[in-house]
Every structure is written in C-alpha cells, then in structure tokens.
Amino acid sequence: MDCKELEAMAAMAAMALDQIDQMLPEGAWYTPDIDAAYAHVQMSMGSSPDVILRKLNSPACQPDGVLLGYIDGLVDAQLVDSSIIAPLLKTRLAPSTWAHAMLLSGDIRPRRRWPEILHDLTQGRTLVFAPGLSWVWSIGVSKLPQRSISTPKTEQTIRGPDEAFNEVIAVQMSQLRREFSYPGLRFHSITLGRLQHTAVVVTYLEGLANPALIQVVVERLEHVAIDGRATGTLLSGLIRDHPRSIFPTMRATERVDTACHELLQGKVLVLIDGDPFALVAPSPLADFYRTALDYDEAWYDVSFVRVLRLTAWAVGVYLPALYIALTEVNTDLIPHSLLILTAGNHAGLPFPPIVEAFLMVFVIEVLREAAIRLPKVLSTTIGTVGAIIVGTVVVKAGIVSPQMIFVITLTALSFYTVPVYELTGTWRVVNIMMLIAAAIVGIYGLVLVTVWMIGSLISLQSFGAPYFEPLAPFRLSDWFDFLIRLPWTLMRRRLSDARPTHPTMMGPSMEEPPAHLGRGRP
C-alpha cells in the first residue's frame, strides 16, 4: 500500500468521522460499554477492511475482555503486538492503572469524547477499550509511511549542508530540533481543514522573534477555513499580505539550513504536514534573492554573484522588451551599425519582431514545461532537441532572426538565476507586460511599466515588513546583506525586516580582538 492510497484512506476516514461528528450531539461522551463501543466504531468507520477491531481475553477484565482498535498500515504492527497485546493478555492490574504500570509506550492519553477517540484512530493511534473504564486509552504507536530525508530539489548548492525537509511534520520538527538543541525553539501547533485535517506548526525562537509577528502569523492561520489539502502554496495564498498581487510576499524553503538561518534572523516559519516546504514570514523581495550558498561561500564571491543576479534580472525583464522597443518603435536609438545589421537580419522574414518574440517565448515555455513533466532521461532529450530546433532550424526556416534567438535565450537563462522558483513566474508576467508595452509605445512603455512595478513594490508589505526594503524605505544596515554580503567579522546585526527583539547576532565587538582579527589586518 503506497502513501497516496493511505492518504486517500485517511481522508475518507476523516470525512466519515466528521459526518458522524456532525450527527452526534455536542459533547458525545464515551460510555464504558465494550459492545456499544464496537458498534459505534463500526458505524462510524463503515466496513473498511483496514480498521481492525479485536476483542482480547485479558485476565484483568473477565469475562468481557478488552477491545483493541487500530488502522492497519498506520501503526507499527510489531509494536502493537509487543507493547500492547502481549501485556494485555497477561495483566491482572486494574484498567485505570495501565498507563503507568502495564502498557509499554511513552505516549498514552485518556480520551473521553467520541470525536477525539475517532480522530486518534484515524491518526494512526491504537485504542484500548476496557469494561468499566470511563475513558479509552489512546496509545501512540503509529508508524506513518514517509519518504527518507533527501537533498533539496529546488534550492541546490555546491557547498555546505544539503538537507531538505520531508513531508512528515514530526520529522520536520525533529530536523529543526537537532539543528538547534536550544530550548527556546518553540512549536505552536494548529490543525487546519474541516474534512482533511492537516497539522500546521508555527515555529520560532522564543525571546528573539517579535511577539507581534508570532501573534499575527498564528491569528492568520487560525482564521483559515478550508475543507482540506492545506499545502504551502494554498496556505501562503490565504495568509500572506496582498494575496492577489503577482509579487509573492511569502517565501517557501525546503532547506533545513535556510530555515535555521531565517529563525536566527527572528523570522517565523510555518511547517505544514504533507508539504516539505516551510513558509517564511516576513519575506521582503530581497529575501527571495538570498540563497543558502550566500552564507557558505566567501563574501567577495557571494557579492559578485549577487550583482550578477541583479544584472541577470535586468536582462531577463528588460532585454526582450528593449529589443522590441528599439526595432519596432525607437529605431533611431540603436547605433547605426547595429541598426543596419538588425534590419538585414529581418529582411525576408515573414513576421515582425514582436511576433517573433512571442513565438520564441512560447517555444521556450513549452520546452520548459515539457522538461519538468517528462522523466529526467527524456527531458534531457527534449532539451537537446529543443536547442537544435531553436538554435538552427527556426533561423534557417526563416521564421525568427538570429538576434531574437540570442535575446530570448539570454532572457530564459537569466530568469533561472532567480534563486526562488515562485518569483520566476512573477518576472515572466512582468516581462510579458514589458513586451506588450514596448511593442505599442516603445521605450516610453518600458518606463510606464517600470513606474507601475516600482509603485507596486513600494506599496507592498510582508507581515509588517516593507516589501521593497532596504531600497524603499532605505535601510543602510540591511544593505550589508543585500547587493553585497560583508565579511562575517563585520556582519554583527540581524536584518531588520522581522524586527527581532535582539538586533545583534554576534555580540559586541571585542575590545581586544585576537591577533588574527587585530587592527590593520585585512
């Protein structure tokens, strides 16, 4: 049985549970009757073959015995046998003392209400019903199927730690715990979803994260009312500022080291069960251009790469539109030699440059989509075939000029220098807007769209942090980790966007530094 089937089963069970829950009056209490409980569980869960209800003849509960209930596949069968069934078959202790004296599990809870009991059952816990006991023992022996911890797929690096979250929230929390080993690491759990229950955990460092920020994140999550399927994208779309804006105001990361870095900046993470991407709040635009590698490489190399990223952004957003503006409208602005060669390249072509541009954008997007959907072996082939088509055949067929191939290829490559994937789509939209404006009114159109873009960026916020900082508002202290990243010896302050309670992260500078950090040393 694979993970998807289990998820489907769990969803069905949760749905049925909720239906029962709606039918029951408020506060439907469990009554200590084994046969009634058996009937109740059967009625609630239906005739599902994975729901195991087994009566055991325990010496402590003669002559009625005890009722054991669990869902096959969600529990560790060996643990159920050794820690629950075997002791039950031998014990003569009173059922009320089993949690302390008999059952061999660390996670045992008494449950008195049927909704709780059935919820625990669907969560993979094992239930023990004993006659005369006014509650049910709910024992945590679940063993949920999970993917092993792997390397990140969307945020790769060449140096430093390379560990990604997986889908199980308990594992996500344990990964963070292991990284911190600090009691101030707090997990605030919230269950979302009316039909499909999803555990969501607000994570922060107590004493560092701003309490107002934590409160805002928790409040927004508590106001989420959905049936189910709480993924990172969905939750981000529901709790972020400006949910209809094309600019993402909440970042997601699958890297554990990035998550730790964000926590150390005083930010708040939202871990979601079933989604290996943790959401980060707040996330100003500059945050989308900070990668894990930026903190694992030499400061000068990182600074160079960041400037390169900015240049690539400008190329990706402006180059095709600039080419269209200069060839369709403002031809007088091109150096005359380039103008003559460009005109020569377009001689005999059936389409104007704007049609060529849209055609090539379409080809690139189709190739990209095909490469994502196909298996890796085939995607490589598609990429090669696509490159041949784009590079040679389209030009030789007289459909697109060679200059347009250069422009669109450089643009496509530039887009992929954006470290966070969701921003790529945003810049693609801006790029299309620029193209249309440039085709109609040339350079003036580029200026118009740029003014709109800057206006939008300045007006946005992310959980109280200005989205366009440190540019607007200008915050000099955050520039030290913006276009350039200063050497570690100079980076003593945290970024100000999360308004952490302690702004410094490296303590005061030493009055008498060690020799290797002394005055005059580079």
Instruction: Name the residues that contact another protein, by CB under 8 A.
Output: 327-332, 336-349, 352-353, 402, 440-442, 444-445, 448
Of the two residues 109 and 346, which places its CB atom closer to another protein in the complex? 346
Comparing CB distances to another protein, the nearer of 452 and 488 is 452
Only one residue has tokens 């040679």, namely: 392
Query: Whole-number minimum distance, CB 360 to another protein, in Å?
Result: 17
**Minimum Å distance from CB 351 to another protein?**
9
- CB closer to another protein out of 307 and 343: 343
CB of 397 to another protein, least distance (A): 16
3-state secondary structure of 56: strand
Closest contact distance (angstroms) between CB of 355 and another protein is 11
Beta partners for 186? Answer: 204
Task: Identify any residues that bridge with 280 across adjacent strands, giving them in sequence order.
Answer: 251, 269
Nearer to another protein, 293 or 448 (CB): 448
Angstrom CA distances, 110 to 10, 30, 107, 128, 508, stand at 22, 11, 10, 10, 51
Smallest gap from Cβ 404 to another protein, in A, equals 12
- Number of Cβ atoms within 10 Å of the Cβ of 88: 23
Q: Which is nearer to another protein, 38 or 444 (CB)?
A: 444
Contact of 37 with 111, CB cutoff 8 Å: no
Minimum Å distance from CB 194 to another protein? 31
CB of 452 to another protein, least distance (A): 9
* Burial readout 57-77 (b: 16 or more C-beta within 10 A, e: otherwise): ebebbeebbbbbbbbebbbbe
Residue nearer to another protein on the CB measure, 180 or 351: 351
- Helices in 162-210 by DSSP H: which ranges? 169-180
Between 110 and 402, CB nearer to another protein? 402
Find residue 51's DSSP bridge partners.
71
Q: Which of 320, 322, 327, 321 has the alpha carbon at shortest distance from 411?
A: 320
Least Å distance, CB 394 to another protein, is 16
**Contact present, 117 and 179 (Cβ < 8 Å):** no
DSSP string, 328-345: II-GGGS-HHHHHHHHHH
- Report the C-alpha dihedral over residues 394, 400, 404, 406, rounded to 10 degrees: 20
Is the Cβ of residue 28 or residue 443 nearer to another protein in the bound state? 443
Residue 240: how many CA atoms within 13 Å on its side-chain side?
A: 29
